[in-house]
Amino acid sequence: MKAILKNIYLNFRKYLLRVVAIFILDKKIPHSVSGLDIRKILFIRIDRIGDMVLSTPALKALKQEFPQCKLVVLASPSNQPLLAHNPYVDRVIVYGHKNGLRKKIGSIKQLRGYGFDLAIDPYPDYELKTALIAFVSGAKSRIGYASYGREIFFNLHGPGVVEDKHLIDLTLDIIKPLGVVANDKRPEIFLTEDEKEWARNWLEKRGVGGRPMIGIHPGGYYETQRWLPERFADIANHLQKSGDLDVIILGGPGDERLVHLIRSMIHAEVSTYVGDDLRRFATLVHSCHILICNNSGPLHIAAALNIPTISFMGPTDKKRWMPIGEFHKVLRIDNLSCIGCNLGYCKIRTHDCMRLITPSMVIDAVKDFMKI
């Protein structure tokens, strides 16, 4: 019933917005931006960490196509640290979702003050927020995905959403009408030598170093994305038995209780890092030989840093969220009828997509990676 009502609402919204567009919005510009003077570009990415990581190939391609432009990214408080030291981004503006109306109006005034020539909204879904931001930014030209009427806020012709594409390809597809083609689809995060030195010192103080280190990140945006805590503990106990490996448990904001629970089930001492400094989190991931994690932002951070990963995928859309690059093992029970449901709850109440992934599968994957 919820799906039916949602579909009715979205279709009603689409036709209502199209009627509104006839009276108050500007006309479409032809498919190409050839001849337009592009000097200032706004790229809107105010969602989650993984989305920002997977947008970095598009940012690189834009800067390479328009090297003279000033490329500004509107980011969220949580994902903006990922752009630090990125040579393809000239400025980052933080948009706080939880800000009051006055601060949001202030943010819009700030955007309008730039005089953007082009605003890009790569969000590949039906929500209106980012499309509205592109419109009120004052950018002369605007492009984004057409979905249930959100296209009326753009004046360049953008594509429709293709469901079975990776997010990297979806983000690159939105800039193809601008004549931008990416030669490199690899996500990138740029760490400084000082940041790497901080990680080495942090680990050395805890007696970690000299042996391959396995990172474990048990968190995930939705509970259905998370492998069972006791399974993570089983893995840590098994890996530490040989004495040939170090283990570190990593967590971000909100993961404190989960990390504490897992640590309480591990027999030997284990280092943990739980904090809200995403740059330091990334430097510790970079120090790992392998990262074991759920399908979440840290998975894509590790992939962008060329760290091998072993990850668990259940309700997540496989084609959209697979890690990019070599040496990534995704554990997934493909023969389940409900696999890839993309829900934040288990509709059959078994959580089989995660429960049926066993510690032995992970240990086998670790052994395979250690041979490389």
Which single residue is written with the structure tokens 């079975």?
164
Residue 12 has pLDDT above 70, yes or no: yes
Bridge partners of residue 112, in order along the sequence? none
Do 166 and 208 fall within a single domain? Answer: no
Do 49 and 151 fall within a single domain? Answer: yes
Task: Indicate if the alpha-carbon torsion angle 336, 342, 348, 353 is positive or negative.
Answer: positive
Residue 15 has pLDDT above 90, yes or no: no
- Which band of pLDDT confidence, cut at 50, 70 and 90, is reported for residue 31? very low
Do 32 and 136 fall within a single domain? Answer: yes
Residue 203 lies in a domain: yes
Do 140 and 220 fall within a single domain? Answer: no
Stated pTM of the model: 0.93
Do 327 and 256 fall within a single domain? Answer: yes
Residue 21 has pLDDT above 80, yes or no: no
Do 322 and 345 fall within a single domain? Answer: yes
- Which band of pLDDT confidence, cut at 50, 70 and 90, is reported for residue 218? very high
Residue 118 lies in a domain: yes
Q: Are 292 and 361 in contact (CB under 8 A)?
A: no
- Which band of pLDDT confidence, cut at 50, 70 and 90, is reported for residue 29? low
Which single residue is written with the structure tokens 């995060």?
189
Do 30 and 133 fall within a single domain? Answer: yes
**Two tokens, residue 165:** 């594409």
Do 132 and 95 fall within a single domain? Answer: yes
Phi, psi of 271 (to 5 degrees): -75, 145
Do 95 and 215 fall within a single domain? Answer: no
Residue 157 lies in a domain: yes
CA distance 211 to 320: 35
Residue range 15-22: mean pLDDT, rounded: 82
Bridge partners of residue 144, in order along the sequence? 121
Distance, CA of 318 to chain centre:
14
Of 178, 207, 225, the last residue of a domain is 178
Total number of domains constituting the chain: 2
Say which CATH number the domain at 210 has: 3.40.50.2000
Bridge partners of residue 257, in order along the sequence? none
Residue 219 lies in a domain: yes
Distance, CA of 96 to chain centre:
17
Residue range 35-55: mean pLDDT, rounded: 93
Round the CA-based radius of gyration of the chain to a whole number and report it.
Answer: 22
DSSP 68-109: TSEEEEEE-TTTGGGGTT-TT-SEEEE--TT--HHHHHHHHH
Residue 352 lies in a domain: yes
Of 178, 213, 245, the last residue of a domain is 178
What residue spans of the chain are helical by DSSP H?
2-24, 49-53, 56-65, 101-114, 129-136, 167-173, 193-205, 229-241, 256-264, 278-286, 297-304, 318-321, 352-355, 359-370
Residue 96's domain comprises 24-178
Do 236 and 135 fall within a single domain? Answer: no
Residue 271 lies in a domain: yes
pLDDT, tens digit, 9 for 90 and up, residues 136-178: 999 999 999 998 889 999 999 888 888 889 999 999 999 999 9
**Two tokens, residue 155:** 């004046």
Residue 273 has pLDDT above 70, yes or no: yes
Task: Indicate if the alpha-carbon torsion angle 104, 108, 113, 116 is positive or negative.
Answer: positive
Residue 17 lies in a domain: no
Of 143, 178, 213, the last residue of a domain is 178
pLDDT, tens digit, 9 for 90 and up, residues 283-312: 999 999 999 999 999 999 999 999 999 999
Highest mean pLDDT among 26-35, 64-73, 334-343: 64-73
Do 62 and 173 fall within a single domain? Answer: yes
Residue 15 lies in a domain: no
Which single residue is written with the structure tokens 């006791």?
230
Do 73 and 208 fall within a single domain? Answer: no
Bridge partners of residue 292, in order along the sequence? 216, 310
